[in-house]
Structure 1
């Protein structure tokens, strides 16, 4: 067996035998530098210089002194904190009910708990307008209220809670499953009640996960652009204000400074979350979760949890169902007769943005998926100069709000030698480098559970790293690969803030088209776009699942037999 030092030396010696692999690593490092750090540096440089290029903090000082900008910054933080608190609580309830109790309708609950992650933007904002707007089905139709103001902080909190609680649910589900049930069983055998066991054992052990989920939701809330842009009303946030300043006042420098104000808390939360995850453990007596966990089935526990989860699922069904119905009515709130005119509009006048979005997503998805798997393989299995830099650069994009990415790409790629503005290439680059982190994280976790001796044996028998990766490693982590592909496609189809500054007349996409429809109150046309996007995303997930399943060695062997 090799010790740590010898293992490192062996890895370094093996990598030096593969010049093509070295070139590939250098290429990845170069691309990460150009498309992650270079735009950020250009953003910072532009913010602290005047038009002549000399150092000047005058604009920064003017923004800081402006009381309205300070209020907008406070709005973003306040909205993020409140949404993160509520979403984390709901996510914990769902995670506990699904993983620790004999909850009825678990399949339905899981579907509802993940639906907002893979759905297009604007769905919930549009449903809020359909239900509670001036012509809303509930406010005007059922209650007769004609002056209800649907726009503002209250609607944003509701929409962001529903949009981002799945992030908390997915994070906390893994944490709760990892807690060894024998710890709780020991407390139960000592006479403690289930309520006391929860507060003295289960909840304290899951606290690191709760804090991590809270930070992740906080980051998502800060980065959200579509919901505040549509229903923010008199409650402006930093991302929307930066867009307004740049597109309405043509003040790119102030918009860049506002984006940096948005970046700072987002980056701090990201680094704190990363530190918390790496510095905290979920320690139980055995250190391993029980394989035969006894699920809670007491009626006084299951029924209240089921009622809460079912109520929240009913709200989700109501919101999504409202948008689907809204796509098939003539004029919401005025004429509810059935029509297909909105779909005819999409497939005739408005088809190009939809086609562009699908085309760009199809191109970006395999690049993102394979690049993410390759980076995970290199950072987990290989030792080379620049390894930490690669890991940091590839994961950093998760902390970058879309507004920051969009503005920084304008500044970085609007002139030679990187003149990409207005092309499809810049949109594909945004999709690829912005969506890498999820695939990398999933693949890294999967690789850590696989014995590296399998790959080492392949290399010792003369196979190169590329052959080993594609024929051995990738099939073994196909689950993470599938998740990365799905996430990449969905995010490419639903991106708004990162590309709203980068689209052009030739390369307009469906999300920016929907946003423009909101600005002119063509809500039913927007609903038709959203319904079509849901169908496209569902079909893409099915196709990706089919293609990845072909990578299963066991299934392929059975087919051959």
Structure 2
């Protein structure tokens, strides 16, 4: 106990000797409290408050006795679980094939796997309706089927898996690629069969990554709003949509808040498991370039079977997104598929304000989110101070909080003075900043852990302060993480819907809300045109960042080489 107290006092003393660092940490804590903790606190408080403003369990009693709401909770858990299990299985097989099978088209498969990340999260739902709906190209036009159950569990599950498949692939690709093939070589030399090598080496070493991926997909699917709003239908209620409808349709903030709390609890449990339990279970192996194992891991039949599986998955993903582009150039999807450019004229006429607003909000929030993420990552990795673990947990908390909960929290927290922000530009920007800093923090932490602290310690020895060390040494060294945070924050700000739909107003609208509105109105061709414009903007930004990143890295390398 005395040792712990001494360490605590040493941390306090160190901070007092560096007032600028102390002010920065206090300021970040205040910001995180106001824009992350306070909105969630308001959701909890309102969910336990009756019409007279007094504490009450009446709302929860009403919800728990409502069979439709209970079914919505069960459906949400069911879809999240199915997405986690099936998405992880497909992602693992895909990643294993790319890393351990000597197949052609590997670059093609890797490219296709990450395509859905560039698209708005509910684009897959739109394409599924266009392909398999009542007037779908595949169901109605090719097979003459008009009763395919596209609305409900099957359509929604397909959309969720397509949407979150890249998350599974990227995570598991990183896991499998770091397993040294020399372990498999040694097993083969000891006369082990391919199945034994897979079950005794590859699979056990992948278990932490598989478990982590399942929990991440569970959280992502449970928090998703766009796909369920389009595909769930009234016969298959899900909690995120019901919370939205309670607020926007019934104007019942208390019930919406209670449903948000109900949705938040399993997300938080999964987040804590993933971050603090599964995240600690890592098996380290000696890394190396794949040698004979890559050729020996699968036999000829398995190789072509896995190739066929990857090809089917890739072609289906490609079909989903080609359909969006095709639909953008048709007059009336499903009824009149003649080529036209009128949809784009409509977009730039009706939606020009939404395009301008979306770009303004994204370009404002993106650099702030990325810089703040790098600063917090620097504090977590390089500094010692009381409350560091709390800072890390709170700053990453929004990863686990469903967008619906965040949106409800913001309209409850910032709907009165002194923080009257509802309907303003500021509330959307602040939402995006604090919603997407977790990725910047995680990428920054990951890269900082690979940088030798001796470089920064040398600068301190020469008299540099924290500001100089961070701006002149640390930040240039973590340029890749910084630009990754920039790209991710921009893409998510451009494609966000779940929280933003609560925060848009007559003065500030978003393209994703326009796309959703067009889809709800049955104007699928116009929705596709909006989507294509949105995708082109995102791709242009990513290309620009790639050029800037290349130039920046070369400048940094030249600076260090000259020194």
Instruction: Tell me whether the two structures share a fold, i.e. TM-score over 0.5.
Output: yes
Equivalent residue, structure 2, for 1:386: 387
1-structure distance, mates of 2:7, 2:471: 23
Equivalent residue, structure 1, for 2:185: 185
The one-character-per-residue Cα deviations of 1:111-156 (angstroms, maximum 9, x if unpaired) are 1111112212322111111111111111111111234342111001
Equivalent residue, structure 1, for 2:110: 110
CA RMSD of the aligned region, Å? 2.2
The one-character-per-residue Cα deviations of 1:480-538 (angstroms, maximum 9, x if unpaired) are 11211111001101111111111100001111111111121111110000001110010
| Contact 2:8–2:386 (Cα < 8 Å) also in 1 | no
Structure 2 vs 1, CA of residues 75 and 495 (structure 1 numbering), >3 Å: closer, same or farther? same
Equivalent residue, structure 2, for 1:533: 534
> How do residues 89-100 of structure 1 correspond to structure 2 at under 5 angstroms?
89-100=89-100
| Contact 1:296–1:302 (Cα < 8 Å) also in 2 | no
Confirm or deny that 1:197 pairs with 2:197.
Answer: yes
The one-character-per-residue Cα deviations of 1:219-270 (angstroms, maximum 9, x if unpaired) are 1110110001011112111000111111111111111101111101111111
Shifted more, 293-302 versus 221-230: the winner is 293-302
2-structure distance, mates of 1:430, 1:349: 25
| Contact 1:187–1:197 (Cα < 8 Å) also in 2 | yes
| Contact 1:134–1:149 (Cα < 8 Å) also in 2 | no
2-structure distance, mates of 1:179, 1:113: 21
Structure 2 vs 1, CA of residues 346 and 72 (structure 1 numbering), >3 Å: closer, same or farther? same
Please give the secondary structure, in 2, of the residue aligned with 1:435: helix
The one-character-per-residue Cα deviations of 1:24-82 (angstroms, maximum 9, x if unpaired) are 22111100000011111111111112222221111111111111111110000001111
> How do residues 185-264 of structure 1 correspond to structure 2 at under 5 angstroms?
185-233=185-233, 234-264=235-265
Instruction: Give the superposition deviation at 1:300.
Output: 2.7
Please give the secondary structure, in 1, of the residue aligned with 2:503: coil
The one-character-per-residue Cα deviations of 1:371-420 (angstroms, maximum 9, x if unpaired) are 00100000110012222221111000000000000001111000011111
1-structure distance, mates of 2:414, 2:214: 35
Equivalent residue, structure 2, for 1:47: 47
Instruction: Give the superposition deviation at 1:173.
Output: 1.4
| Contact 2:149–2:155 (Cα < 8 Å) also in 1 | no
Instruction: Give the superposition deviation at 1:549.
Output: 3.0
Please give the secondary structure, in 2, of the residue aligned with 1:454: helix
Instruction: Give the superposition deviation at 1:160.
Output: 0.6
Structure 2 vs 1, CA of residues 7 and 464 (structure 1 numbering), >3 Å: closer, same or farther? farther
Aligned length: 556
| Contact 1:36–1:397 (Cα < 8 Å) also in 2 | yes
> How do residues 56-135 of structure 1 correspond to structure 2 at under 5 angstroms?
56-135=56-135
- Segments of structure 2 that go 5 or more residues without pairing to the other structure are none
Equivalent residue, structure 1, for 2:282: 281
Instruction: Give the superposition deviation at 1:353.
Output: 0.8
Instruction: Give the superposition deviation at 1:5.
Output: 12
2-structure distance, mates of 1:5, 1:450: 30
Equivalent residue, structure 2, for 1:523: 524
Please give the secondary structure, in 1, of the residue aligned with 2:502: coil
Instruction: Give the superposition deviation at 1:12.
Output: 6.5
2-structure distance, mates of 1:210, 1:439: 23
1-structure distance, mates of 2:290, 2:76: 44
1-structure distance, mates of 2:34, 2:292: 52
Equivalent residue, structure 2, for 1:307: 308
Please give the secondary structure, in 1, of the residue aligned with 2:251: coil
| Contact 1:119–1:534 (Cα < 8 Å) also in 2 | yes
Instruction: Give the superposition deviation at 1:468.
Output: 1.2
Please give the secondary structure, in 1, of the residue aligned with 2:432: helix
2-structure distance, mates of 1:293, 1:5: 52
Confirm or deny that 1:431 pairs with 2:432.
Answer: yes
| Contact 2:12–2:386 (Cα < 8 Å) also in 1 | no
Shifted more, 384-393 versus 39-48: the winner is 384-393
Please give the secondary structure, in 1, of the residue aligned with 2:277: helix
2-structure distance, mates of 1:207, 1:256: 36
Equivalent residue, structure 1, for 2:474: 473
Equivalent residue, structure 2, for 1:22: 22
> How do residues 386-465 of structure 1 correspond to structure 2 at under 5 angstroms?
386-465=387-466
2-structure distance, mates of 1:398, 1:120: 18
Please give the secondary structure, in 1, of the residue aligned with 2:513: helix
| Contact 2:91–2:168 (Cα < 8 Å) also in 1 | yes
2-structure distance, mates of 1:519, 1:333: 16
1-structure distance, mates of 2:16, 2:179: 42
| Contact 1:18–1:464 (Cα < 8 Å) also in 2 | no
